[in-house]
Amino acid sequence: MKKAYIFPGQGSQFSGMGRDLYDLSAEVKARFEEADHILGFNLSKIMFEGTAEELKATDITQPAVFVHSMAAVIALGNKFKPDMTAGHSLGEFSALVAAGALSFEDGLRLVSKRAKAMQKACEMQPSTMAAVLGLADTIVEEICASIEGVVVAANYNCPGQLVISGEVLAVETAAEKLKAAGARRALILPVGGAFHSPLMAPAGEELKKAIEETPFVNPICPVYQNVSAAASMEAEGIKKQLIEQLTAAVRWTQTIQNMTRDGATTFVELGPGKVLQGLVKKIAPLAEIASE
């Protein structure tokens, strides 16, 4: 009977996010104020009062989702006793801070640098992503490999739900071929660029230096990382995978499968939205979804 805490990524933000948490305790309030101080601008105000459009900017979204997740951890106080953690894409930083591998300040600085580096990479080359529903992973992988240009499987969200990522024309061509192969849907997503693809290499290089210079320690519990989908317990290995994460696929299906195999019976999502709860239900139908 093990409890796993999971943390969402970009896309789970919403107007007013975190306002309810802010009023819970002095400790939570202090975390928001600390975040504003570290970033040098009033992120809290944008989270609480900003429009959906303002919150959509990558350099706002990523810190906002991270801070919301960390505020939720603080709000739990002594009830927060993780047996294991994991996060989807950006959420991996939340999972690492929650497991004590990284300080809140260092985590937020890295998240902010990551967001800016990704934004820069997006501006260098037109690129996009598409959600693919109703096809086996292997078929999606084979079709992507057959397309001229850069297009790869980027997010293994749950069985029958993948996201592909790459150059605009290559993604559009792949989407048409995937529909012809029997995909229920192959829908171009309204995103700024090709996250978790080779096109993020410039951002990866920029982030690599920042990660290497940041102190990490061994976590208090296993952290299941996106790149390997396996448990990590050692600081240097964690850093290595975090460096690879921007250009590698998010193996969420495999992550949840490995967590349940390793004894996770209850999953708690901390952060804005409930997207991951829905994915867990599809990957591990017998697992309990709890809210705290």
User: Residues 231, 4: contact at Cβ < 8 Å?
Assistant: no
**Please, what is the average pLDDT of the chain?**
96
Q: Does the pLDDT at position 224 exceed 90?
A: yes
User: Is 88 annotated as catalytic?
Assistant: no
Cβ neighbourhood burial of 119 (10 Å; 0-12, 13-18, 19+): middle
Q: What is the mean pLDDT of residues 228-249?
A: 97
Write down the pTM of the prediction.
0.96
Q: Does the pLDDT at position 56 exceed 90?
A: no
Cα separation, 185 vs 179, in Å, equals: 7
Going along the chain from its start, the domains and CATH numbers come out as 2-123+198-290 (3.40.366.10), 124-188 (3.30.70.250)
| Active-site residue (options: 89, 112, 127, 165) | 89
pLDDT confidence tier of residue 37, bands split at 50, 70 and 90: very high
Share of the chain above pLDDT 70, in %: 100
Q: Does the pLDDT at position 180 exceed 80?
A: yes
User: Is 196 annotated as catalytic?
Assistant: yes
Share of the chain above pLDDT 90, in %: 93
Hey, what are 172's tokens?
Answer: 């559009």
| Active-site residue (options: 88, 196, 197, 232) | 196
Q: What is the mean pLDDT of residues 147-167?
A: 97
Q: What is the mean pLDDT of residues 233-238?
A: 97
CA angle at 135 for the pair 131 and 141, rounded to the nearest 5° = 80
Any idea how long the chain is?
292
Cα separation, 241 vs 102, in Å, equals: 14
Q: What is the pLDDT of residue 11?
A: 87
Q: Does the pLDDT at position 190 exceed 90?
A: no
Cα separation, 269 vs 98, in Å, equals: 12
Q: Does the pLDDT at position 122 exceed 80?
A: yes
Q: What is the mean pLDDT of residues 166-170?
A: 97
